[in-house]
């Protein structure tokens, strides 16, 4: 089952994020050095313009945690782009306790969506 589908417009962001991880983390994406080396060779052999190939690489080598971090980076980049064109939605921040955040995050991961979308879903489907 696919965890996420990289869009063509996110290819540069995802590639940059992965390259940065390889540069800064000696055991990326795995603590097993042999698997990390295999992942590195496979990544740098990919076609730079093929989102499907990069998505397949991510499916094979990235843990759930790394996928989540990559998706967060992609969403942040999309927001930066929107803001640069002046059409970003205003963002408000809220404080929740750790157990509430954990429950929301767990539900968001199960639904494969953002925390914001999960909160909207819960609000729309409240009893």
Q: Where are the domains of the chain?
A: 1-88, 92-127
Instruction: Please report, for residues 4, 64, 74, 105, the alpha-carbon distance to residue 110 in angstroms, rounded to integers and kept in the order given.
Output: 12, 11, 19, 9
pTM strictly above 0.75: no
Over the stretch 62-97, which tens digit does the pLDDT of each residue have?
998 999 999 999 988 888 877 777 665 666 778 889
Over the stretch 16-45, which tens digit does the pLDDT of each residue have?
999 999 998 878 888 888 999 999 999 999
Return d(Cα 93, Cα 31) in angstroms, integer.
Answer: 35
Confidence check: pLDDT of 14 > 90: yes
């Amino acid at each position: 089952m696919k965890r996420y589908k990289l869009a063509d417009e996110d290819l540069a962001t995802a590639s940059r994020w992965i390259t940065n991880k390889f540069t800064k983390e000696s055991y990326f994406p795995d603590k097993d050095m042999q698997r990390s080396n295999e992942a590195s060779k496979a990544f740098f052999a990919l076609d730079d313009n093929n989102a499907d190939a990069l998505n397949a690489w991510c499916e094979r080598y990235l843990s759930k945690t790394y996928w989540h971090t990559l998706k967060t980076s992609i969403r942040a980049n999309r927001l930066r782009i929107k803001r640069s064109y002046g059409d970003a939605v205003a963002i408000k921040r809220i404080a929740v306790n750790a157990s509430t955040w954990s429950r929301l995050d767990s539900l968001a991961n199960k639904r494969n969506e953002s925390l914001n979308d999960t909160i909207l879903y819960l609000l729309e489907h409240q009893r």
